[in-house]
Structure 1
Amino acid sequence: MPRVFVQGSPVGHHPRHAPEAGRGRIRRITEVGEEVLHKPCRDVTEFGPDLAALVDDLFLTMYVADGAGLAANQVGVDLRLFVYDCLDDDGVRHVGHIVNPVLEAPSSGRRLLDEGEGCLSVPGAVMDVPRPDRAVVRGQDRDGDPVVVEGTGYFARCLAHETDHVQGHIYLDRLSKREKKDALRQMAARRDEVYARRAAKAEALSRAQGRLTPSGPPCSGR
């Protein structure tokens, strides 16, 4: 079985970081409570250099924050778009981006996995969230061509999580009031540590590549 899928298709090899990241700029990551995270995003209707540059920025920002996925509204951009670089439960790597994603309704009888889930916009918190063990997302690529991506296990969780983001939802919305308070307490306790780690990684990348200049505080929040 192929060990890497890019845009839903198998490839023989893919670099450790998606090539898009080498063209990107680090952006500030939005945090729970900011309006852009809590309202549905707009459909992408223009495909061109600006959209391609946003995909590049999302990849780089995601890597600096040690994320498995990142949606456009998590960098303050009100558009239906996310990127991902995520392993499934079998260790198969999935890399790509989806514009205007639509998550297919799960078929009846799909198994729910109640496992730990975090979010770069809720830095430091991890909570159990039930998600179907399989997800199919349909959308477009940055050129406007159709794309279909299917995932199982942890990658299915990633696809569902990121599609939630473009709908204006974060995983805290799926928790009880008590669980949400617990998550926010975790965030308050670990937030500074998470930000320091992101800043250190951004600085290390800047030194290594000599050109990565954050367009705002380095990865503050997610």
Structure 2
Amino acid sequence: MKQPVADHARGRFITLEGGEGVGKSTNLGFVAGLLTAAGLDVQLTREPGGTPLAERVRQLIVAPSGEQVPPIAELLLIFAARSLHLEGLIRPALAAGRWVLCDRFTDASYAYQGRARGLGDETVAWLEARVQGELRPDLTLLLDADPAVGLARAGARGAADRFEQERLEFFTRVREGYLARAAAEPARFRLVDASRPLEDVQQQLRNHIQEFLQVNGKI
């Protein structure tokens, strides 16, 4: 019978979270570079998405369609994509000793669907337990900025997806949801002031990653 992978051989799971326009895409590569420079085998991925079928579900979730999507349907689609992502990429990578760096994960569901859509934490937590089991990120870097600043940045990128078309009030609730998650789990979350210039933001990220690498015996 195949023996379970020892904890020291298991990879680590790092997530990058935040609302629209906080710089996740810009800084995902930066964080990946820090991990790679430390000699780690890094798997970059994103949510919704990460596998071919999960990416197809992503398109259903984010693309404007003209049809109203009930919040619970949105959440179920996201967890369907998450299940595919977990079994097709995240769990195998971690078991093989790779460090997985993911652009958003379940904290986004708490912030967007739980808080901003009004479904509440209990609904998200029920799905989280059934889809993920005990798997949770080892470290979550939360890029935080005033939603008005983030929306202005996102608007400069081009055509807005279904989420980016929401009003400021929606993203204010998203931010509240994220900050509530960070306050509830301070051991996992590291808050990054994403309103600062990029050089300052990346210095904050560098400090957090170096601390995490030290704790995990990688430097």
Q: Structure 1-normalised TM-score?
A: 0.27
Higher helix share: 2
Higher strand share: 1
TM-score normalized by the length of structure 2 = 0.27
Higher relative contact order (CA 8 A, sep 6+): 2
